[in-house]
């Protein structure tokens, strides 16, 4: 839903945005704030919390495989009883790219928002 008035009238004095970490990306913040057309001012608070998420592709690949968070990638077990996982799946590669991007945004949401 957008809030707009005829002839681009400025009927809303101030739009406030309060954003905590790990809930929205800076893209989401932008979109939510833009719902009100032609406000007098926009004031934003973004949590300064920082995280140390691992964005290494091999770490995220293993996490996705073990957690079955996108699909079941368990192929079987090796001679020692350790699980083996499918490695060459295009959906797995897309899931890894998505997780790396989302994690990177979450890690620095305040910095990313101020640059957008």
Per domain, the residue ranges of the chain are: 6-115
Write down the pTM of the prediction: 0.52
* CB distance 84 to 78 below 8 Å: yes
Beta strand 14-19 with 41-46 is parallel
**First CA to last CA across the chain, in angstroms?**
22
Report CA 63 to chain centroid distance, whole Å.
17
Is the CB of residue 21 less than 8 Å from the CB of residue 39? no
pLDDT tens sequence for the chain (116 residues): 788 889 988 889 999 999 887 777 777 888 899 899 999 999 988 887 777 777 788 898 888 888 887 778 889 999 999 999 988 888 889 999 888 877 766 666 656 665 44
């Amino acid at each position: 839903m957008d809030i707009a008035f005829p002839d681009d009238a400025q009927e809303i004095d101030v739009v406030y945005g309060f954003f905590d970490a790990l809930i929205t990306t800076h893209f989401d913040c932008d979109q939510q704030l833009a719902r009100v057309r032609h406000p007098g001012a926009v004031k934003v608070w973004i949590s300064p919390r920082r995280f140390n998420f691992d964005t290494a592709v091999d770490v995220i690949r293993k996490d996705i495989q073990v957690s079955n968070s996108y699909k079941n990638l368990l192929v079987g077990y090796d001679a020692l009883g350790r699980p083996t996982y499918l490695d060459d799946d295009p959906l797995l590669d897309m899931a890894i790219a998505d997780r790396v991007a989302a994690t990177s945004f979450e890690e620095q949401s305040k910095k990313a928002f101020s640059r957008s």
